[in-house]
Amino acid sequence: MKPITEYQDYRKYMQDFYEERKRSSLFSWREFSKLAGFSSPNYIQLVCEGKSRLSNNGVEKVADAMGLAGADRDYFFAMERFGDAKNDAKKMQAFNEMQKIAKENRLRVVDAEAFKYFESWVNPVMRELAPIMPGAKPLELARNCYPVVSATEVRQSLDFMVHANFLKKVGEDTYEQTEKIVTGSSEAIPLALRSMNRQMSKFATDAIDDIPPEKRHTAGVTLGLSDETYKWLVQKLEMLRQQVVAVAAKEKEYDKVYRLNLQLFPLTKGKEA
């Protein structure tokens, strides 16, 4: 099996543990549940399928059944809290704990750098801005941003992106992008993206008053949609987003950094309410 810190989904870790044991023995869901002390023969299977969840005592019992100890055990507990958290604040707290456990034990967390990149709006802005301002000091870069940002935040962002290989330093205060597009694939990335979207949505609201109309584009329409039309529209918006990304990736020369928000959200409750 992969090291536990390469997982962010405790259910996937339990599923892989089961599959690993099953390949080398007659291990079954019944035996797994019995090993963990559950009376229901398919309880752990239901947890892995997302149809049930573990109680605090259940997490302990499953960790015992999988033979987890030390940092691996602590990481599994934090991973369960991350997976079952009821809001983003608790989810963020659990994920930060997962990273802390891994760092203290010199272990690797998959996509931790991508998570940190998407967590703050400063990173993607500096990743686009720094390469077109070669030789610029952090204070100069900060003064070129519409949202208020300090020179210290800029320096921290640049140092992080060089360390994480999102930017390459090619001279004194001079940077190049290592890739045109940054992506992440772990279960934690949507959490960071929601944080990013909250920040960018606020900036979009502020831009209505702070940016002259000729330098921004703001438009919207209120629609009545069926579920079928909603899904069709989401698909079209995603296609547009991908087309915009493809065009921007080919851009050789640019002098400004923009943010494009695509937002579609309900203003009324549906029949299911």
- pLDDT class of 143 with cuts at 50, 70, 90: very high
User: Which pairs with CB-CB distance under 8 Å and at least 24 residues apart come from 82-86?
Assistant: 82/8, 82/10, 82/188, 83/8, 83/9, 83/10, 83/11, 83/187, 84/53, 84/54
Closest CA to 58 of 39, 85, 86, 71: 39
In sequence order, the 6+-apart residues with CB closer than 8 A to the CB of 225 are 233
Q: Which of 27-31, 103-107, 134-138, 259-263 has the lowest mean pLDDT?
A: 103-107
Domain chopping of the chain, boundaries: 4-109, 111-208
Angle at 9 between CA 7 and CA 15, to 5 degrees: 90
Structure token digits, residue 178: 């290592």
Query: Which residue in this structure is represented by tokens 């330098």?
Result: 215
At residue 211, φ and ψ (nearest 5 deg) are -110, 130
Is 70 exceeded by the pLDDT of residue 261?
Answer: yes
**66 touches 49 (CB < 8 A):** no
Q: What is the pLDDT of residues 157-172, one digit of tens each?
A: 999 999 988 999 999 9
Cβ-based neighbour number of residue 58 at 10 Å: 18
Structure token digits, residue 137: 């000091």
pLDDT for the residue numbered 35: 93
When pLDDT is averaged across residues 253-259 and rounded to a whole number, the result is 92
Query: Which residue in this structure is represented by tokens 């991508």?
Result: 114
Class of domain 111-208: mainly alpha
The dihedral sign for the CA sequence 202, 205, 210, 214: positive
Beta strands in 101-186, from DSSP E residues, in sequence order? 167-171, 174-177
pLDDT for the residue numbered 272: 67
When pLDDT is averaged across residues 176-203 and rounded to a whole number, the result is 83
Q: What is the pLDDT of residues 197-255, one digit of tens each?
A: 999 999 999 999 999 999 999 999 999 999 999 999 999 999 999 899 888 888 888 99
More confident residue, 179 or 237: 237
**250 touches 271 (CB < 8 A):** no
pLDDT for the residue numbered 130: 96
Structure token digits, residue 130: 């720094």
- pLDDT class of 49 with cuts at 50, 70, 90: very high
More confident residue, 54 or 182: 54
pLDDT for the residue numbered 273: 59
- pLDDT class of 184 with cuts at 50, 70, 90: low
> Partners of 167 in the beta sheet?
177
pLDDT for the residue numbered 103: 83
> Which DSSP symbol is given to 267?
S
> Which DSSP symbol is given to 216?
-
Q: What is the mean pLDDT of the chain?
A: 91
Q: Where are the alpha helices (DSSP H) in 25-84?
A: 29-35, 43-48, 56-65, 70-84
When pLDDT is averaged across residues 58-85 and rounded to a whole number, the result is 94
Distances (CA, A) of 34 to 37, 112, 268: 5, 35, 47
